Amino acid sequence: MKIAIGNDHSAVELKNEILAHLESRGFEVLNVGTDTSDSVDYPLYGEKVAKAVVNKEADLGIAICGTGVGISIACNKVKGIRACCCSEPYSAKLSRMHNNSNVLCFGARVVGSELAKMIVDSWLDAAFEGDRHQRRVNQLGELEERF
Ligand code: RB5
């Protein structure tokens, strides 16, 4: 499985830790940047992660900014993306099981690296349950089409 990962300047260090963690677990990683501390705009990096997922260059995406909020909003502007901003593992796990989230976001200024790894692992180790949740996810797609 391939994971796209992207971030703004606030999250370079955490991104590198998560990237190494993913590789240590055997995932292939597509790093879309940024890789320096020069100030960048999070919507651009949210878009890069989201595009990699909808274009099937990656199976799932992880996007990190200072809070996780801005970059998750950016990802959710891309049709087909269900990004969730999670600061703890329970929501991350349920976002896969119930919402079939395809991008995980969190904030480098909110969570430490060990908690971030737990969030990532809970998300990656969970599976979509389908059934009634599929109906609701379909409704999310329909909502996207209406506006
Ligand atoms: C950048 O300073 C900061 O605004 C950004 O990382 C993020 O937190 C936005 O939602």
> Strand runs (DSSP E) across the chain, as ranges?
2-7, 28-31, 60-65, 83-85, 103-107
Q: Supply the pLDDT for residue 79.
A: 98
Query: What distance in angstroms lies between residue 44's CA and the mean position of ligand 1's atoms?
Result: 12
| Side-chain-side CA neighbours of residue 122 (13 Å) | 17
Q: How far is the C-alpha of 16 from the C-alpha of 49, rounded, in Å?
A: 15
Instruction: Give the position of tokens 């900014």.
Output: 65
Instruction: Give the position of tokens 């391939």.
Output: 2
Query: What distance in angstroms lies between residue 69's CA and the mean position of ligand 1's atoms?
Result: 8
For residue range 3-17, list pLDDT tens digits in order: 999 999 999 999 999
The model's confidence at residue 140, banded by pLDDT at 50, 70 and 90, is: very high
DSSP 98-126: TT---EEEEETTTS-HHHHHHHHHHHHT-
| CA 69 to ligand 1: nearest atom | 10
Q: Is the CB of 43 under 6 A from ligand 1?
A: no
Q: Supply the pLDDT for residue 16.
A: 98
Over residues 122-129, mean pLDDT: 98
For residue range 30-80, list pLDDT tens digits in order: 999 999 999 999 999 999 999 999 999 999 999 999 999 999 999 999 999
Q: What is the pTM for the complete model shown?
A: 0.98
Q: Is the CB of 72 under 6 A from ligand 1?
A: no
